[in-house]
């Protein structure tokens, strides 16, 4: 069963010169998660932020920090991001040799565990992981940069994942599992993704366009 639609603004599109204030602004504007894109210049072709920035931002919002690790190896940093204030830690199965062990590690730290699927990553990687995780993140662009165009094939992936998640959730007494989508999300693609079953929308440019006074309206329009 699909949950209420949550909006997770990606701070990759925020004003980095005033990042704390930006996090406060999206919190006040009605965001549900703060989405933190962590890139290492190795697993993906870009460098962003590390645990020290997450720790510095943590006092600026009471919202869950939804930390997407686009780094390899991932296990070595999971504990650092957990200690810095991450609430949800999402990783790519290609980023380590033993995804199930990574899930166990994240859960052992008292955090929610998510798995992210790149556009070419098959759903079969979740066959023995879905009952253990709290979130599936479908990348509707290739990870590494903001501002890319939504890849249409993500819609079919979301639709099939919605079916699988509902099946697992029902067998586990209704345990919530977020179905998140990230990449090229705007008012138009948000409607497409929601219709396909997504219930968490990561939106960078679509949230942060227009400055703080526009954030509440931007978020409301994405939520539908």
Which region holds residue 193: left if phi is over 0, alpha if psi is between -120 and 50, else beta? Answer: alpha
Q: Are 215 and 25 in contact (CB under 8 A)?
A: yes
Query: Has 174 been labeled as part of a binding site?
Result: no
The alpha carbon of residue 54 and the mean position of all alpha carbons in its chain are separated, in whole angstroms, by 15
CA–CA distance, 66 with 63 (Å, rounded to integer): 9
Query: Has 146 been labeled as part of a binding site?
Result: yes
Query: Has 13 been labeled as part of a binding site?
Result: no
Query: Has 147 been labeled as part of a binding site?
Result: yes
Active site residues: 37, 182
Query: Has 182 been labeled as part of a binding site?
Result: yes
Beta pairing partners, 181:
138, 201
Q: How many CA atoms lie within 13 A of 100 on its CB side?
A: 8
Query: Has 96 been labeled as part of a binding site?
Result: no
Which region holds residue 35: left if phi is over 0, alpha if psi is between -120 and 50, else beta? Answer: beta
Query: Has 213 been labeled as part of a binding site?
Result: no
Extract the tokens encoding 132. Answer: 């253990």
- Residues 6 or more apart whose CB falls under 8 angstroms from that of 222 comprise 7, 185, 186, 187, 190, 201, 203, 206, 207
CA–CA distance, 184 with 140 (Å, rounded to integer): 7
CA-CA-CA-CA torsion sign (95, 99, 105, 110): positive
Query: Has 35 been labeled as part of a binding site?
Result: yes
Which residues contribute to the annotated binding site for substrate? 10, 68, 144-147, 182-184
Binding residues: 10, 35, 37, 68, 144-147, 182-184
């Amino acid at each position: 069963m699909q949950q209420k639609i949550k909006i997770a603004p990606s701070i990759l599109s925020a004003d980095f010169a005033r990042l704390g204030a930006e996090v406060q602004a999206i919190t006040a504007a009605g965001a549900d998660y703060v989405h933190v894109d962590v890139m290492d210049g190795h697993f993906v072709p870009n460098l962003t932020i590390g645990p020290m920035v997450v720790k510095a931002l943590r006092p600026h919002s009471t919202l869950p920090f939804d930390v997407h690790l686009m780094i390899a190896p991932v296990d070595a940093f999971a504990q650092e991001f957990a200690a810095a204030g991450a609430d949800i830690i999402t990783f790519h199965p290609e980023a380590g040799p033993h995804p199930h062990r990574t899930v166990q590690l994240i859960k052992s730290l008292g955090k929610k565990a998510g798995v992210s699927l790149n556009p070419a990553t098959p759903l079969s990687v979740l066959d023995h992981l879905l009952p253990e995780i709290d979130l599936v993140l479908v990348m509707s662009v290739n990870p590494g940069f903001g501002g890319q165009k939504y890849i249409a094939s993500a819609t079919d992936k979301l639709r099939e994942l919605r079916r699988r998640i509902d099946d697992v959730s029902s067998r586990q007494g209704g345990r919530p599992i977020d179905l998140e989508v990230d990449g090229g999300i705007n008012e138009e693609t948000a409607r497409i993704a929601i219709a396909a079953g997504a219930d968490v929308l990561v939106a960078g440019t679509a949230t942060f366009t227009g400055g703080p006074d526009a954030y509440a309206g931007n978020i409301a329009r994405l939520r539908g």
